[in-house]
Every structure is written in C-alpha cells, then in structure tokens.
Amino acid sequence: MLVLLLAGCSNLRPNVSPPIDVRLIPDDCANQTRIVNWLESQSKGEWNEHVAQIRGRIWHLRYTCNPV
C-alpha cells in the first residue's frame, strides 16, 4: 500500500517543460532583440540552475551581433 501511495504522489508534479539547450539558438542578428527578450523571459522560470547558461548565450549573441 505504501508503494502505491508513493508512486501516486510522484505524478503530482506540475507540468513543466525541460530547459532549452541554448547552444542550439542561432546567432541571428536580424532577430537579436526577439531572441534576447525570449531568453530573458526563460531565465526567470523554474530552472534556476540554467540561468547562467541563458545569460551566457545572451552575452554571446550581443557580442557577436554588436561588435565594438
């Protein structure tokens, strides 16, 4: 009975999508603003361990598209 109870409770997690692989996002300078805005919205979600990867990708996109 305990096993059934534990198995049933494991399915109560809310539906959350897995984190995106930010390395797959292209360096699309024409859509830089949209991509950066979307990435910033993703960094405020449940996957706090991936915030550094998202911030790094934003920095890379800005650096690539806006060279000094």
- pLDDT tens digits, one per residue of 11-51: 554 544 556 678 888 889 999 999 999 888 887 766 666 78
Whole-number pLDDT of residue 7: 52
Weakest mean pLDDT among 4-8, 16-20, 56-60: 4-8
pTM recorded for the entire structure: 0.61
pLDDT in the model for residue 46? 61
Q: According to the model, what pLDDT value does residue 47 have?
A: 63
Grade residue 65 by pLDDT with cuts at 50, 70 and 90. Answer: very high
- Best CA proximity match to 49, nearest among 11, 18, 13: 18
List the Cα angle 16/21/25 in 5-degree steps: 120
